[in-house]
A and B are shown apart, each in its own frame.
Chain A
Amino acid sequence: MANARSLDKRRKSIRNIRKITRTMELIATARYRKAMDRAAAATAYTDRITQIVSRLAAAGAEVEHPLLEPREETRAATLLVLTSNRGLCGGYNSSVLRIANPRLQTLRESIPNVRLEVSGKRGIGSFKFRGINVDTSYTQFEDQPSYADVEQIANRYLEQFVTGQIDRLDVAYTRFISTSKQEAVVETLLPLGNLESAADEANGAGPGGSATVDYEFHPSAVSVLEEVVPTSFKIRLFKCFLDAAVSEQVARMVAMKSATENAGEIIKQLSMTYNRARQAQITGEIMEIIGGVEALAN
């Protein structure tokens, strides 16, 4: 049995670790709430966009736009992988990377020119370790990605897509379904596919209702639609970033919660071993004293 003092030292250090993990759990919880609020605000925006799209559809506008049409031949593609800047969040990063890597390989096999863009230090590090070259990396996205930052990237993709520099954009990220369920997915954001189903998917059925109202379109339904399509791409990309941020905080919360619980259990076990060791030591000492006394009496 190890000696009592070293056991006590270990117990103390584990107590400190438990303090840290508990604090991290609390921080992650607070950040998760904030991130959720932002996601809710974004949903308010997507809801209204969906509403406009449904009004346009009701007015008989043909939903046609270059961003919605798949290209005949895909010559260049971009894969954007969203990971976190910080670790200690359980399997969050590895699950995104586990799904992103095979996709990257299949893209590279079928498409001659594939760019890889990674957001988050964890992902960048992992690709570096595997010896895969990352074309562009972002580290500015923390737990509250700002729309201005995302819009910049989105505008660049739109520009590249419109000018034919890329024919396809895939995003690998963690989709937030509920607090207890998040899953890593790869989505094709460009070409956008169906506009309405895209919007529906993001927030359930949009608020329909008074679709019978006659709207005046200014300047015309087609012109409004031309603007709606790029906007809904931007908002979808933004949603990806928000989902990734929320999922990261949830993952960290869960990981730190179980770390705290584990630390508690280890402390319990160590305390038991420590008490036993202490008692054994005391018994040993008493035996020695008694032995000494008896030796003197003789």
Chain B
Amino acid sequence: MAIRCVVVTPERTEIDREASYVTLPMYDGELGVAAGRAPLIGRLGYGLLKLQTETGTQQLFIDGGFAQVENDVVSVLTSRAIPAEQIDAAAAERSLSEALAMPGNTPELRYIRDAAQLRARGQLRAARAPH
């Protein structure tokens, strides 16, 4: 039994295809979704979305957002979805050092800084992961 995986960004529908197994990069780690999973709404982190399909594994870097699972349809809403091969490790390192240098002297600023760091780290991890 296959599940349908739909990745939507505000600019276009990035992916709409069948997969046998989907790994979602949740905010606190990976979550595997197989056919017949109970309905779920979750918050995504910054990391790789992996689709196991008949033709092999497809990997995409997901830039936060939400995932919704219902009736074997996995909808991923994110601001950006970049194919794993196209992630720029150098740019990710640059944004990480920028994020590390951000001020954190009020709770709000610290929250913003932490989000930026998480994002840069996720991107870096995705860039270094074997694909």
CB <8 Å contact, B41 and A215: yes
CB <8 Å contact, A223 and B77: no
CB <8 Å contact, A45 and B41: no
- A to B contact number (C-beta, < 8 Å): 87
The interface bits of chain B over 90-118 (1 if a CB of A lies within 8 angstroms of the residue's CB, else 0) are: 00000000000000001011011000000
**B77, closest chain A residue (CB):** A48
In the assembled complex, B80 has its CB within 8 A of some CB on chain A? yes
- Inter-chain CA distance A224–B75, complex, in Å, is 15
In the assembled complex, A62 has its CB within 8 A of some CB on chain B? no
- Inter-chain CA distance A49–B77, complex, in Å, is 8
**B40, closest chain A residue (CB):** A216
B79: contacting residue among A44, A151, A214, A221, CB under 8 A: A151
- Inter-chain CA distance A115–B115, complex, in Å, is 27
> What range describes how many residues of A lie at the interface?
35 or more
Which A residues are CB-close (under 8 A) to B11? 38, 41-42, 146-147
A163: contacting residue among B9, B31, B39, B108, CB under 8 A: B108
Chain B residues within 8 Å of chain A by Cβ, number: 30
- Inter-chain CA distance A102–B107, complex, in Å, is 37
Pairs across A and B, CB under 8 Å, 15 listed: A41-B10, A49-B66, A51-B68, A162-B108, A162-B112, A163-B106, A214-B39, A215-B39, A217-B41, A218-B42, A218-B43, A219-B27, A227-B43, A227-B64, A234-B79
The interface bits of chain A over 214-258 (1 if a CB of B lies within 8 angstroms of the residue's CB, else 0) are: 111111010110011001001100100000000000000000000
Q: A213-B70, A219-B28 are in contact. Are A147 and B9 (CB under 8 A)?
A: yes
CB <8 Å contact, A45 and B9: yes
In the assembled complex, A148 has its CB within 8 A of some CB on chain B? yes
How many Å from the CB of B56 to the closest CB on chain A? 27
A interface residues, Cβ below 8 angstroms from B = 38, 41-42, 44-45, 48-49, 51-52, 55-56, 146-148, 151, 159, 162-163, 210, 213-219, 221, 223-224, 227-228, 231, 234-235, 238
CB <8 Å contact, B10 and A238: yes
CB <8 Å contact, A147 and B79: yes
- Inter-chain CA distance A213–B37, complex, in Å, is 13
The interface bits of chain B over 50-75 (1 if a CB of A lies within 8 angstroms of the residue's CB, else 0) are: 00000000000000111010100001
B interface residues, Cβ below 8 angstroms from A = 8-13, 26-28, 31, 38-43, 64-66, 68, 70, 75, 77, 79-80, 106, 108-109, 111-112
How many Å from the CB of B93 to the closest CB on chain A? 19
Which B residues are CB-close (under 8 A) to A219? 27-28, 42-43
Which A residues are CB-close (under 8 A) to B111? 162
Which B residues are CB-close (under 8 A) to A224? 41-43, 66
How many Å from the CB of B92 to the closest CB on chain A? 15
Which B residues are CB-close (under 8 A) to A146? 11
- Inter-chain CA distance A146–B10, complex, in Å, is 9
Which B residues are CB-close (under 8 A) to A49? 66, 77
CB <8 Å contact, B40 and A148: no
CB <8 Å contact, B8 and A45: yes
- Inter-chain CA distance A146–B28, complex, in Å, is 29
- Inter-chain CA distance A56–B9, complex, in Å, is 21
Which A residues are CB-close (under 8 A) to B28? 219
CB <8 Å contact, B39 and A45: no
Which A residues are CB-close (under 8 A) to B42? 217-219, 224
- Inter-chain CA distance A221–B42, complex, in Å, is 8
